[in-house]
Chain A
Amino acid sequence: MAGLPATARGCIHAEFAGWRSVDPAQVKANIASECALSLPAFAALLAEFGAAISEGKTGVDAWDVVCRNYKLRGAEIDGSVRPLRAARVMTVETYVTLLVRTTGLPRDAAIDLLEASDGKVPPEDDVALFQATSLGRYVIWATTDALDRDIHGSVPLAARCLCVTLGLGDIAELGDPLVCVSYRPGSTVEMRRPTVADAGKYPYYRPHPDAADAFGRTAPHACRPCDYPDHDHIGQIEFVHREITGEGLVFPYRILR
């Protein structure tokens, strides 16, 4: 903030002062803890946010919009530690919408397609549809528990447990099934450490405090009940990359309830 003009600083301070409810307050705290975004990019992001405030755009939604120009700006993960295999968790509904927009399957058929191969290697034609479908939109958030292992080996496969470990929303309260996919992103896909700009207004994100770490780390929700009370919820590696198709998917995927 120090590098910003006084008026911009004043604008932003005044705006942040109003972010008192739980989610905006967390986004504000995250911004204060950011250490993965380069200084010039962070300064430009804040300056742009200050300009948006001057134009009357306020609140975390305005922040979210400004963040769109600063996605995938964290440090690129070096080849020596780059994961060969990634895993990501999304809601079933999210995957269904991705399948529909790519394959043209109606929603009901996409749901059936997804359910039919839970925990199994799908038939050839199903595989082709999954491979053609994007694994997410805009910025893909991924994790991996080691360089060549997938998340299945380290985190109990229950939705609630996974949400606690990965620091997602409260599945216990929301009840939506999740799908966990693992994939080989391919050598041409840049992997980057996540930043507050990638997270936008998502309040469950926590910046990893170690500025020297190549990766981000998820922040487990220590206070939430879990189906596996003995499991030691430790933060998982976290990184982001651009939108890619499921060409590198490793089957089977798992649906977690």
Chain B
Amino acid sequence: MNDPTTQDLNLLDEAQIGAWLREALHGRLGTPLTRDEPAHERVLRTERRLERAARAAIRRASEALARELPAASAPDLDYVESLLHLLDALRRPVAPMLMQMARDWPAWIRGHEELQRVLLATIVDLQEADSRAFWLEIVGNHGATFSATAFAGILLHAPEAALAALPTWPVNALASRAIGVLLGQKLGAMAPGQRRELIVAARDVLDGCAAPLRGALERALARYPEPSMASGRARPPASFRAALRSRFPESGRSLGTVQSPRLVPVAA
């Protein structure tokens, strides 16, 4: 396929856009800005310049390519990774399908931990509601391997439940760090007055966590001292904390994404 210009792409029909996207995600179209940029970056760059109809066609085409994945036999793994990042950046509603893939990994992705991680991280960003059971299943099946991503998945919709789960989870050193960073981001995205419940919930689980995780959580909490706690006032009793948790079981707050101009544009 020849490399079409932006103007050409605006004139392509749905099937042609699909064919273009497949080629582009294989890195066969477009000129990269740097030598090693991933293929989806060129697609995103092109997509931003297209007319509305062509952009919509790219979105539909990306979903169609995603639907091919579960039955694929041996797809190019870099292609799959780029497709996942594209689906994530364009916020395509494919989380249920990706979750199904993660429950029963296709043979071609088994053993490719980094790609599995990208797939799971995509599910988090696609913000599928009511995914807590799924993430618990992932931790149950894979131990510490994907625990940071699972934490992020639960943190999205039920932050206190995410924290409550931690003492029972296997967590390695890197995942501990990532979980601390995720908690810090979550707290940073909240208004100061809203942080208290989450801080209380985090402090509640510290004693049950292994040292590396406990340290990471403590460091995240140290960045957001609550005035009343810092001044030595007693923490609310556990029953009160439990009551607070039951009042806000599913906060629905976003993961700690900072509301600032994005470094990487995200589709509206």
Contact = CB atoms under 8 A, between A and B. Distances in A.
A114 B152 CA distance: 17
A104 B264 contact: no
Given A137-B36, A169-B33, A171-B33, A109 B177 contact: no
Interface string B237-268: 00000000000000000011110101110100
B204 interface: no
Interface stretch (B9-17, B50-58, B62-70, B114-122): B114-122
B21 to A, nearest CB: 16
Contact of A132 (B37, B149, B174): B174
A128 B120 CA distance: 21
A169 B41 CA distance: 13
Contacts of B266: 108
B36 A141 contact: yes
A16 interface: no
Given A177-B263, A255-B263, A107 B88 contact: yes
Contact of A129 (B41, B121, B181): B181
B210 to A, nearest CB: 15
A78 interface: no
A91 B42 CA distance: 11
A91 B114 contact: no
Contacts of B185: 109, 112-113
B223 interface: yes
A58 interface: no
A128 B118 CA distance: 19
12 contacts: A104-B146, A105-B152, A109-B152, A111-B263, A112-B258, A113-B181, A113-B185, A115-B263, A125-B184, A125-B216, A125-B220, A176-B33
Interface of B: 28, 31-38, 40-41, 44-45, 81, 85, 88-89, 114-115, 117-118, 120-122, 124-125, 146-149, 152, 173-175, 177-178, 180-182, 184-185, 216, 219-220, 223, 255-258, 260, 262-264, 266
3 closest residue pairs by CB, A with B: A169-B33, A106-B124, A104-B149
